[in-house]
Amino acid sequence: MNFENPIKQNIPDEKEEKIQKLERDLKIERAGRKNIYQIARFAQMLRLRGKEIDLSDQEKEELLIKLENARKGEGGIKTVQGQEVPQGYEIARWLMLARILSVEKANLSEDDKSKILEAAFELKKQKNFIHLASLIKTAEILGINIGLEDLADDDKRRAEEEFKKM
């Protein structure tokens, strides 16, 4: 598996103050050692803005533990509204963060792919287009194609609209 940054884009014309805010938020989150997901997300956002940022060895180990917990169904990522996300969605998020942040021990398995596709089906069924669009984008980074072809026309349009917002 290639662990180079799979997202080639740098986010252009980002205001320096936004980057500084992300750096401050990362520093605060690291000082509190509260949430490896937030630490990894801040690091990811900074990487996408061209900043050379790495996770510490301890943070990489924490991320791998969270990935393993997600694989066992013992995850804990929740939506902003406090709802649990499907297992495959959580696995995809941890794997995507691991790939972007060069955590080399995190490999995508066939079981992971299967659970990611199940999560897509579940989100389609729930008509949860925001998380479906997020999962599609995340899966692309992992090299998994999740199609929208089995959605009804109106649902497909809504999912595509959410995807374009990302």
Nearest-angstrom CA–CA distance, 17 and 32: 22
pLDDT score for 125: 87
The ranges assigned to domains in the chain are 80-165
**Burial degree of 113 (CB within 10 A; 0-12, 13-18, 19+):** middle
pLDDT at 2: 39
pLDDT of 130 reads: 87
Q: Which residues pair with 84 in a beta bridge?
A: 78
pLDDT tens series, the chain, 166 aa: 334 444 545 555 557 888 899 999 999 999 987 789 999 999 999 998 888 899 999 999 999 999 999 999 998 777 777 778 899 999 999 999 999 999 989 999 999 999 999 999 899 888 888 898 889 889 999 999 887 665 566 666 777 777 677 5
- pTM (2 d.p.): 0.80
Residue 92: in which H helix or E strand, if any?
helix 87-100
User: 41's torsion region: left (phi>0), alpha (psi -120 to 50) or beta?
Assistant: alpha
Phi, psi of 84 (to 5 degrees): -75, 145
Contact 86, 69 (CB under 8 A): no
- Residue 116 has a pLDDT of 94
